[in-house]
Chains A and B, each alone.
Chain A
């Protein structure tokens, strides 16, 4: 599949522009009732099905194993294992890291520093291979915080360092975060992330209650870029979605046939 038909989500993120996410951070916020993982799957598939073979994804998996993602992406028509073998999908299995860490003596910061070093090496290696556009996907921030022994400052430091890669080599970051795991006092972490994000996607259950034909709703906020980008984006778009086995349907509320 060379080209994907554009849907509401792609339009809201700005995929009409060829490189909407270069140097930008996309944050997906979901909640217990509605998982936002499907947005990650969608973006993964998008990255691999675009004609640019220079797209590479570095995936930090804190919540699921490779087999899980492979199985889902296969349904969406994308072979992750093949992509991994061809070097376009770099998978960091952080599930095992969590276990070794608990028995080990490494501190939360040490884990994240080590992880960052690995990422930076991988990114630089890819840049030298002329793979221009690297996307770092983090699934998910709350488990990253667990890996950092619950220190949100370390998480922010880690994200800051990843952010320096955005401006240095033009990466993108896509991160998933759970909005409701933070108590009000801890809200600064998710607020900090919202400040950091250039594109914010909030996933939630349908406001009017559970429905058979609608699985939830999305709000996409595309922030304006300060003065440098020619196109001023500041759009908020709301729509609803329906998750199927082989993809997700997006539609405006009330417009589903």
Chain B
């Protein structure tokens, strides 16, 4: 599914349509959103470098990592970030987001950033100003695609950090104007779900055509302090579930899930393992019978005579209880359970006829008949 995300971002936007946008969200129990982000970023970059994608360049807004980090990351994944292939520009919102260094430390900066990185990055010292941010993104993008119909991608490594400096409405405005810009091919951003209110997350999800959620497989180690002792913490896994919701233009929504595992070389996606699939299948109810009765079945059921229903029929019931009958049976030798014997209305009924052999035979008593046994 990670591939289908990358494909969607690679294919880009149609003329007159909003650019596809990807929201990657994670939470503290599975804080691997950045791994997923860098995976998508490198895939997209290699597509751009190979000339396979609609976009010809990438503008990266770095809020949570330094530009040097990204240059190193892309190099490590075997991508050429050299100045010869001018395809990536980093808007550096990490180094000095509020202009503290610029305002108060003028001339004192000892920056040991190497030339390669500083060629690619452009410092932004007021990240709260969305209009300025927008114009610098577009300017950077136009820088390598020119004024034609060629498009570029925009990636934001943490909108969580952006929200600290601006309101959600201003940020939403920036993101929508990016999506609707004619030279933007696709956009992606990362957000930490549990740091924001639900409405903020919902706003991001509305603005994006693909939402990817990273979820932990095991319950949270942070639930409560009393959980600190649990041994499963020892194996807090780098595994999790990757849910993707893709919205098509016609409104069709496709939901897919995958497993992920964060390894040394990066995040790896695998289809949900077979045993989990079996469990999932067996959970789907396969009902072969009707839960409701038909009219005929209901009538038939109403006609069934339950085992003891025939005893009543309006007359007093005598049930042999073993004691009372002892005295009664002295008077007359009538069978004990024959209250309806000989009556016409009981014709065809089953009955039990019982004659006592003699009076010596003791009726049932509470005594245990086996109490003399020596076991």
**Which residues from chain A sit less than 8 Å from chain B, CB to CB?**
31, 113-114, 116-117, 120-121, 124, 127-128, 153, 156-157, 160-161, 164, 167-169, 188, 191-192, 194-195, 202, 204, 207-208, 217, 219, 221, 223-224, 226-228, 230-232, 234-238, 253
Contact = CB atoms under 8 A, between A and B. Distances in A.
B110 A124 contact: yes
Contact of A157 (B94, B95, B164, B222): B164
A228 B69 contact: yes
Given A117-B105, A167-B68, A227 B233 contact: no
Interface stretch (B4-12, B257-265, B352-360): B257-265
Given A228-B76, A253-B229, A195 B97 contact: no
Contacts of B97: 157, 160
A179 to B, nearest CB: 8
Contacts of A228: 69, 72-73, 76
- Chain B residues touching A, range: 35 or more
B238 interface: yes
Contact of B28 (A169, A191, A204): A191
Contacts of A231: 264
Nearest to B103: A113
B35 interface: yes
Contacts of B235: 236
Nearest to A196: B64
Nearest to A33: B225
B66 A167 contact: yes
Contacts of B256: none
A30 to B, nearest CB: 11
23 contacts: A114-B104, A120-B108, A121-B105, A156-B164, A160-B161, A164-B95, A167-B66, A168-B113, A202-B225, A207-B225, A207-B226, A217-B228, A217-B229, A221-B221, A221-B236, A223-B31, A226-B34, A227-B76, A227-B264, A232-B238, A234-B236, A235-B234, A238-B233
A151 to B, nearest CB: 11
B108 A227 contact: no
B98 interface: yes
Contacts of A223: 31
Contacts of B66: 164, 167-168
A231 B73 CA distance: 15
Given A128-B110, A226-B34, A227-B265, 9 more contacts: A113-B104, A160-B97, A195-B195, A204-B228, A207-B225, A219-B221, A231-B264, A234-B236, A235-B236
Nearest to A157: B98
A191 B229 contact: no
A40 B2 CA distance: 42
Given A153-B164, A161-B100, A236 B234 contact: yes
Given A195-B192, A228-B72, A234-B262, A164 B94 contact: yes
Interface string B90-113: 000011111011001100101111
